[in-house]
Amino acid sequence: MHTLKSVQMLIDQTLKNQNFNDAPIELYKPISYMLSLGGKRMRPALTLLACDLYGGDINKALMPALGLEIFHNFTLIHDDIMDLAPIRRGKETVYKKWNTNIAILSGDAMFILAYKYLAQTDSTILPEIIEIFNKAALEVCEGQQYDMNFETAKNISIPDYLNMIRLKTAVLLGASLMIGAVIGGAKNQEDKKNIYSFGENIGLAFQLKDDLLDVFGNEKKFGKKSGGDIATNKKTFLYLKAFEIAKGKDFNKLKDAFENTDEVEKINSVKDIYNFLNIKKYTEIEMDKFYQKALTHLDLINLPDIKKTELKTLAENLMSREN
């Protein structure tokens, strides 16, 4: 059985050995750049661990797993244009380092590369792999569109928000696992649905953890300035929950705090109100709900518990992480 650490090393090593340096360099350089910025390699790790769960040969899942990592990085390149984000993983984003046109086009090329890697699998399971992937990829676009809509929309509910992060983030974790399981030999439809739902719920918990870290994370450990979501009035779970439960004077204080034009004051005063309203606790409860749901789906998979250890460890790590 492979460990999370060992599959992550294998992924990093294999990714380093790929050659993305074709001509024209303006198209391919941003692709190698983006992939060299690192990251948790969570999606391909899930694919390999799910393949291993079924006793499959993880080398057979390696190229499709890289395809999922390449796809994820492509979405980041395009998202960074749309969000005007200057920094990604401590480095300049592609559109900042080059320009928007190059970021659009090298993103498109990267997307095709994702399919090229994904298609390196047994032809008998290719239609199923492509179908799982297409569905998730389209949902990721839908999630990004909702995310953009929410910037200006009024009356976003918590279920709206949860659905948005489900689409934008969670479904790809589900799909990464499901694809790994199929390559590993999973045949039972219920099992496949359960491993997908394990990933989807872990993804929801993961995003709530991200929202929490953005406000309450240790800046040094989290690797970025905290309070970014507050500064940009992002309608996260914390924001929506706070406005939901704040009444009367508290509601007005919260509203005023978000309208403060001094960024440092704004972040501090919103944090104070979040603390007063116990928002951290509410978020942790919601997060834990999804985490427990994820574990239930993992339990339901018709395989010995001992085989599920690494996936459980990965889920625990994601929940207890500080970055």
Question: Which residues would be at the binding site for a second copy (CB under 8 A)?
Answer: 22-24, 26-27, 78, 81-82, 100-102, 104-105, 107-109, 111-113, 115-116, 119, 123-124, 126-127, 130-131, 134, 137-138, 141-142, 144-146, 148-149
Q: In whole angstroms, what is the distance from residue 74 CA to residue 43 CA?
A: 13
Least distance to a second copy, CB of residue 67, Å: 11
Cβ proximity to a second copy: between 115 and 216 the closer is 115
Least distance to a second copy, CB of residue 128, Å: 9
Least distance to a second copy, CB of residue 44, Å: 19
Least distance to a second copy, CB of residue 24, Å: 5
Q: DSSP string covering 295-320, please?
A: HHHHHHSSS-GGGGHHHHHHHHHHHH
Cβ proximity to a second copy: between 119 and 300 the closer is 119
Cβ proximity to a second copy: between 24 and 248 the closer is 24
Cβ proximity to a second copy: between 120 and 278 the closer is 120
Cβ proximity to a second copy: between 97 and 293 the closer is 97
Least distance to a second copy, CB of residue 38, Å: 24
Least distance to a second copy, CB of residue 56, Å: 19
C-alpha to C-alpha distances, 187 to 118, 127, 184, 190, 197, nearest whole angstrom: 19, 14, 9, 9, 16
Q: In whole angstroms, what is the distance from residue 237 CA to residue 211 CA?
A: 7
CA 138 to mean position of chain CA atoms: 15
Do 64 and 183 meet the contact criterion of CB atoms below 8 Å apart? yes
Angle between helices 189-216 and 158-165 (to 10 degrees): 110
Record the tokens describing residue 94, joined without a space: 């592609």
Q: Is the dihedral of CA 174, 177, 183, 187 positive or negative?
A: negative
Cβ proximity to a second copy: between 58 and 114 the closer is 114
Record the tokens describing residue 31, joined without a space: 């692709």
Record the tokens describing residue 122, joined without a space: 């047994």
Instruction: Count CB atoms within 10 A of the CB of residue 128.
Output: 15
Cβ proximity to a second copy: between 135 and 307 the closer is 135
Task: HSE, CB side, 13 Å, CA atoms: give it for residue 228.
Answer: 15
Q: In whole angstroms, what is the distance from residue 287 CA to residue 293 CA?
A: 10
Cβ proximity to a second copy: between 54 and 74 the closer is 74
Least distance to a second copy, CB of residue 62, Å: 18
Do 215 and 230 meet the contact criterion of CB atoms below 8 Å apart? yes
**What's the one-letter identity of residue 28?**
Y
Least distance to a second copy, CB of residue 242, Å: 25
